[in-house]
Amino acid sequence: MAARDFDAIVVGASFAGLAVARQLRGHVALIDRNEVGAVQTSACGTPLWVPEALGVADSVLQVHDRLNIRTPRRTISYDLSDVPFCTFDYRGFCQGLLAQTRARFIQAGVTGFADGAVTTTDGRFTAPIVVDCSGWRGAVVRDGAHDATSGEYSFGLETHTPLADKGLWFLLDQKLIPHGLGWIFPVGVGSLIGLGSYVGRSKLRPALDRFLRDHGLAAGSYHGTYFPNRLLRATVGRVFAVGDAAGQCFPLTAEGIRPALYFGSECGRVVQRVLDGALTLDAGLVAYARLVERYRGAYRALRVVQWLATHAPTRWFAALTALAAHRPIRPHWWPRYGWFGRLDQAPTAP
Ligand SMILES: Cc1cc2nc3c(=O)[nH]c(=O)nc-3n(C[C@H](O)[C@H](O)[C@H](O)COP(=O)(O)OP(=O)(O)OC[C@H]3O[C@@H](n4cnc5c(N)ncnc54)[C@H](O)[C@@H]3O)c2cc1C
């Protein structure tokens, strides 16, 4: 096997790519244009059980047992103590997962995919199996030809501030951000404060700066990007897609870490079975696509609630949110949501 030929190539070494790669034995390339964990795009809020189950609990920065939803007239508080959330250090989390993989990491930008070869800024790499985990742009499955204005993408922008706080906050206020939400995620030292537009509006800096000024807060560096708000295709041709590349970020809550890790682990298991000869590639593609398809109804339901959040008057949506926070409604949906994607600690690869 030539140095540039692999059993499998995973494009993107963030949540989805690392989750796939940690399931794989064999001669696997993990390609990313950045050093692993160097470029954070997320507020890194997720249930505490996620880093614990993956063996990267030392990346946790702060644990949260309250989620507060603040609207102009009221604040609704969710008790998270049965499924506490946390915020974690992106670099520590990703480097911890990288240490669990056997893949060869190659730092290069992927520029295309043709005739079974992944073309990069470092030349061509080939493999019978390719998994696109390159985020919302889909460097392989969409050849980078995304349309951010298609309505399929939300946009988020956030900055680190010195605000010390407890609990996670979502801010629902049309004056702060129409068709979107704000958030305050304490991260041990200070908080990430951000705005997200469900309609993909990307010029959020003036509104975010205004909010920080009104609260006397200084901003650190900013980061932001698009993320999908509807489930896209899990396979395109003979390529697997995972995470934001497959539209797996949850609508409404914009939680994309858990689905990327969950579907990444499942995809990795399927790919390993193909590598072991237990499945053909075509059967593997079908098995993975079927697994993702099982969740389409849940994604649709979250999109309906996202639509209500953006179109219904805020006080109506607040009333709905308050209703959902209490018995008898909460026990019906919260455990299913909070425990979605239970992950095994041990990767398949020994
Ligand atoms: C401001 C903001 C805050 C968010 N906060 C949260 C949160 O608190 N909790 C949560 O669950 N979700 C959050 N999300 C959503 C979450 O960040 C994404 O859903 C998640 O990162 C998707 O993971 P992924 O691995 O699919 O893609 P990404 O994390 O986007 O990773 C893609 C990887 O591919 C690499 N890549 C891209 N293109 C190429 C290329 N051409 N060549 C080589 N490498 C390439 C990138 O360098 C990157 O490492 C947030 C999103 C935003 C924008």
Peptide bond preceding 128 in cis form (omega within 30 of 0): no
CA-nearest residue for atom 10, ligand 1, is 255
What does the pLDDT read at residue 349? 45
- Sole residue written with tokens 């997200």: 196
Tell me, what amino acid is at 323? L
Residue 194 CA, closest ligand 1 atom number:
1
- Residues in Cβ contact with 337 at an 8 Å cutoff, skipping those fewer than 6 apart: none
Sheet containing 153-161: which strands, arranged edge to edge?
75-79, 66-70, 168-171, 180-186, 191-197, 153-161, 222-228
What does the pLDDT read at residue 3? 66
Q: Residue 240 phi/psi, 5° resolution?
A: -85, 145
Pocket of ligand 1 (CB under 6 A): 11-17, 31-34, 39, 41-46, 109-110, 133-135, 137, 139, 156, 158, 194, 224-225, 227, 243-245, 249, 254-258, 260
Spacing, Cα 277 to ligand 1 middle (Å): 32
| Radius of gyration of the chain, Cα coordinates, nearest whole angstrom | 20
Residue 196 CA, closest ligand 1 atom number:
1
DSSP assignments along 125-179, one per residue: EE-SEEEE---TT-TTTSTT---TTSSSEEEEEEEEE-----SEEEE--TTT-TT
- Sole residue written with tokens 């670099």: 91
What are the tokens at 163?
């605000």
What does the pLDDT read at residue 343? 64
Euclidean distance between CA atoms 338 and 336, whole angstroms? 6
Written as tens digits, the pLDDT of the chain (350 aa) is 566 999 999 999 999 999 999 999 999 999 999 999 999 999 999 999 999 999 999 999 999 999 999 999 999 999 999 899 999 999 999 999 999 999 999 999 999 998 889 999 999 999 999 999 999 999 999 876 667 777 789 999 999 999 999 999 999 999 999 999 999 999 999 999 999 999 999 999 999 999 999 999 999 999 999 999 999 999 999 999 999 999 999 999 999 999 999 999 999 999 999 999 999 999 999 999 999 999 999 999 999 999 998 888 888 888 888 888 888 888 888 888 888 988 654 555 43
Spacing, Cα 222 to ligand 1 middle (Å): 15
Spacing, Cα 99 to ligand 1 middle (Å): 19
What does the pLDDT read at residue 144? 62
DSSP assignments along 25-53, one per residue: -SSEEEEESS-TT-S--S--EEETHHHHH
What does the pLDDT read at residue 333? 86
Spacing, Cα 240 to ligand 1 middle (Å): 17
